[in-house]
Amino acid sequence: MSLLITGGTGFAMSVVAREWLEREPGARAVILDRAALDAAARAWFEPVRERLTVVEGDVREPAGWADELDRHEISAIVHGATVTPISRGSAEEEARVHPEALMPAKIVDVNLMGTVQLLEWARQRARVRRFVYVSSGSVYRHHGPDWSREPLPEDGYVAPLTLYGISKFAAEMVVNRYADLFGLSALSVRLSSIYGPMDRATESRNFRHVPHRVAQMALDGETIRPNSLAPVGDYLHSVDAAHAILALVDAQRPRYRHYNVASGVAVSIGDIIGWAAEKVPQLRYEVSHADHANVVQDPQLATGMWGAYDISRIERDTSWRPRAGREAFHDYMDWLAAGRL
């Protein structure tokens, strides 16, 4: 039994691949990615490397990988290969040209047409029993639910504004249509803000969510200078995200086409700094003007894609549950600290 993970040499998908191999001693994983294993990925996969195959190829160009994948008994697919052109978190980053403006056609081509090419391959392989598309909370609008601060459900608030979000939502719809046309068991997961092990700069992603930034600065002894302690986010540890995705790979009868994968809780920058201070009592922070801050978030963005996500669907259809935010964040800080010894 082999699981195919596209984008598996990067951040979150590398965690999915390793978690799959660690929990399934007799299974194999196949990664399809344009990028080879870098030093961090080689170290990450070292305990399970003998059961991992890496196929270097562009998901948009099946001539370069279709025959190789056919040599493996692929039974399920987690499609996470994507271009993530996000830059937010400091005054310097805010002043730059939006990264979408640097490669608009590539974003749409990789995120949408790359998905189409993989679906074309999958629909002709009867052995493939599940296709999980890794989407994003970027498909949601910036505000909602309108009537309260309740967690954001999967239905009713989809209104992407960026090329990234538009391409991810378009790919979700294509996945749904292929499922209907060809009898694929396919679904999409919408990730909230993911942080954790293997978060590093890669060719397709170079962005750090608040928990990563705070943890790194705390361990470095750097003064944390947020523009406000109030901004919130639904932050999920990458290992918890991997467990959720794999739970949906295994789900016997998933009842929905779209699932939020998140912590289900919005936590503030102030909360995260407080958790960091429990690990690093000498931590220093000072609220600063955005021009001088090293963590910049908009306090007005507190609902919609920026707030808590409703996770009741995945909780109904699987046994997966996220860890408490404080526990997961401390686990990440411990992992970072161990790597510095």
pLDDT, position 341: 58
Reported as a pLDDT band with limits 50, 70 and 90, residue 98 is: confident
Q: What is the pLDDT of residues 99-139, one digit of tens each?
A: 889 899 999 999 999 999 999 999 999 999 999 999 999 99
Q: Is the pLDDT of residue 226 over 50?
A: yes
pLDDT of residue 91: 41
Amino acid at 94: E
pLDDT per residue as tens digits for the range 147-203: 677 899 999 899 999 999 999 999 999 999 999 999 999 999 999 999 999 999 887
The mean of the pLDDT values for the chain is 94
More confident residue, 212 or 149: 212
Least confident of 100-109, 177-186, 218-227, 231-240: 100-109
Q: Which residue has the tokens 């401390």?
A: 330
HSE (CB half, 13 Å, CA atoms) of 207?
18
pLDDT band, very low/low/confident/very high, at 94 (cuts 50, 70, 90): very low
β partners of residue 195: 237
Q: Is the dihedral of CA 284, 206, 268, 312 positive or negative?
A: negative
Q: Which residues of 270-289 are buried (b: 16+ CB within 10 A; e: fewer)?
A: bbbbbbbbebbeebebeebe
3-state DSSP assignment of residue 32: strand
List the chain domain ranges: 2-208+235-264+308-323
Please give the torsion angle defined by the CA atoms of residues 41, 45, 46 and 49, in that order, rounded to the nearest 10 degrees: -120
Categorise residue 245: left if φ over 0, alpha if ψ from -120 to 50, beta otherwise.
Answer: alpha
Kindly indicate whether the domain formed by 2-208+235-264+308-323 is annotated with CATH number 3.40.50.720: yes
Of 81-85, 237-241, 313-317, the least confident: 81-85
Confidence of residue 248 (pLDDT cuts 50, 70, 90): very high
For residue 85, name the pLDDT band (cuts at 50, 70, 90). confident
Per residue in 266-318, pLDDT (tens digit) is 999 999 999 999 999 999 999 999 999 999 999 999 999 999 999 999 999 99
SS3 for 14? helix
Distance (Å, rounded) from C-alpha 158 to C-alpha 148?
A: 17
With a cut of 80, say whether residue 206 has pLDDT above it. Answer: no
Residue 96, pLDDT above cutoff 80:
no
Can you tell me the distance from the alpha carbon of 261 to that of 118, in angstroms, rounded to the nearest whole number? Answer: 22
Contact 188, 172 (CB under 8 A): yes
Query: Considering the chain, what percentage of its residues have pLDDT values greater than 90?
Result: 87
